[in-house]
Structure 1
Amino acid sequence: MLPTQSSVIDVREIAPRERHAFIFGRFDELLPGEALQLVNDHDPQPLRHQFEARSAGEFKWAYLQQGPDLWRVLISKSEPTAASQDSCCSGGACGG
């Protein structure tokens, strides 16, 4: 299923120290099924690793273009899984 909405973030226009925080902030605002498209001048693998550590199972990563001078990546917010919805910890009730 394709994302219902995609906004484009040209990472090249953001100060390097602000990029990841900005992208995560925009990702957190997405509804399930929506997406961000990143445009960058290099492969954003370090960002992907951060997404895997921070938001495992909550996103999909798809390359739309892979260099050599321009990369485009579609980062989609996944629908919540039944396991994450039914967990006693999903609302912080068990402190875990």
Structure 2
Amino acid sequence: MTDSQEQIVDARVRGEMSCADMAMGAFDALTDQASFVLVANHDPRGIHYMLQAERPGTSGWEDLESGPELWRARITRTATA
């Protein structure tokens, strides 16, 4: 269950932006301890690795649903870089 204040980033309807661009943009807009739920129609695990590499020590990742048709993950800003 998600918090009613928690942003949902639905990468299934992304238009011009890639799933990674949407997720990274949403992450960069977070304040400390805030989170959003990423929804995708593919495994977004690569975004987790990208956050670890490009924003080390600043993010948390919680798998909420793992396919096969829908993936959801909660991404939290744990600290400011």
TM-score (norm 2): 0.82
Deviation at 1:20, TM superposition (A): 1.6
Cα offset for 1:69? 0.9
Deviates more, 1:61-70 or 1:13-22: 13-22
Question: C-alpha distance in 2, partners of 1:16/1:74?
Answer: 23
Q: Look up the SS of the partner of 1:62 in the other structure.
A: strand
1:24 counterpart SS class? helix
Between Structure 1 and Structure 2, which shows a larger proportion of helix residues? 1
**Count of aligned positions:** 78
Whole-angstrom CA distance in 2 between matches of 1:41 and 1:21: 15
What is the deviation of 1:16? Answer: 6.8
1:45 match: 45
Work out the CA distance in 1 between the residues paired with 2:68 and 2:16.
20
Counterpart amino acid of residue 55 in structure 1: R
CA RMSD across the alignment: 2.0
Residue 73 (structure 2) aligns with: 73
Match of 2:62 in 1: 62
**Alpha-carbon offset, residue 24 of structure 1:** 1.1
Q: Is 1:30 the counterpart of 2:30 in the alignment? A: yes
Larger radius of gyration: 1
The aligned amino acid for 1:53 is A
Task: Give 3-state SS (helix, strand or coil) of 1:20's partner.
Answer: helix
Give SS of 2:49's match. Answer: helix
1:20 and 1:63, CA in 2 relative to 1: closer, same or farther beyond 3 A? same
Distance 2:42 2:18 in 1: 16
